[in-house]
Amino acid sequence: GNQEPKYKRVVIKLSGEALLNRETGEPFDPPVLESIARQLKEVHELGVEIAIVVGGGNIFRGLKGEKRGVDRTTGDYMGMLSTVINGLAFMDVIEKMGIPVRVQSAIPVEKIAEPFILRRAKRHLEKGRIVIFVAGTGNPYFSTDTTAALRASEMGADVILKATNVDGVYDKDPKKYPDAKKYEKLDFLEALRKRLKVMDSTAFSLCLDNKMPILVFSMQEEGSIRRAVCGEAIGTVVTA
């Protein structure tokens, strides 16, 4: 395939669910973590600047806690802490592949991660380090998709790569409807008009307002992240 990267600086959103071991229900599946890290290494070797925003859904979500009697805000902090755990797991596998990596947290945890400092994060990228952003935005009522939209905007990224287990945006749920059709390209207004769910509404409107393109794709196959970064027809791209 085409080895020329289309994007120079990317923010990759990894959902917590993508890390889950589907058979045992354990929060991490080492082969999955390693596959993602290998894919990142490939992209790193192309000279692309990589920032990662990790989710926490494999461990805890605020909304789930609320259904079990935990206050929404408490649950959200538990969710944010889950992303710290995921970020550290990632840091470890990425580092073991020989790539320099730094973790920056939106909630101070100075013994285990740097605080989020925009200029320092940019500097890490320029020096070829992968930066992992954890603890979301640091505020309850937000999501890590919103965090990705925020970080991508403030870091001046070229695109958000939303890596999930579904290979794009469909006109209806492909798990329920076998005749669901995948879109290759969409613009923001089209996505709104057709009520397609690309990201939650806060994340989506941030991207819309800042003209930040979103590429939704599946990273289950090896090489998917490279293909996405090289602009191959993979997933669905949503642009202004």
Provide the token pair at 32.
């999955």
Residues 55-74 that bind ligand UDP (CB under 6 A): 55-57, 61-62
Specify whether the CB–CB gap between 97 and 43 falls below 8 A.
no
Check whether 79 is labelled as a binding-site residue: no
What residues have CB less than 8 Å from 67, skipping those under 6 apart? Answer: none
- CB count within 10 Å of CB 185 equals 11
Place of tokens 């640091």: 138
State yes or no: residue 139 binds ligand UDP (CB under 6 A): yes
Check whether 76 is labelled as a binding-site residue: yes
* DSSP state for residue 215 in the 8-state scheme: E
Residue in the shown chain whose Cβ atom is closest to ligand UDP: 55
Residues 38-57 that bind ligand UDP (CB under 6 A): 55-57
State yes or no: residue 16 binds ligand UDP (CB under 6 A): yes
State yes or no: residue 213 binds ligand UDP (CB under 6 A): no
State yes or no: residue 27 binds ligand UDP (CB under 6 A): no
CB of 37 to ligand UDP, least distance (A): 18
Distance separating alpha carbons of residues 129 and 151, to the nearest angstrom: 16
Check whether 6 is labelled as a binding-site residue: no
> Distances in Å between the alpha carbon of 193 and those of 67, 156, 186, 240?
31, 27, 11, 14
Check whether 77 is labelled as a binding-site residue: no
State yes or no: residue 136 binds ligand UDP (CB under 6 A): yes
Report the interface residues with ligand UDP, using CB under 6 A. 15-17, 55-57, 61-62, 75-76, 79-80, 82-83, 136-137, 139-140, 142-145, 147
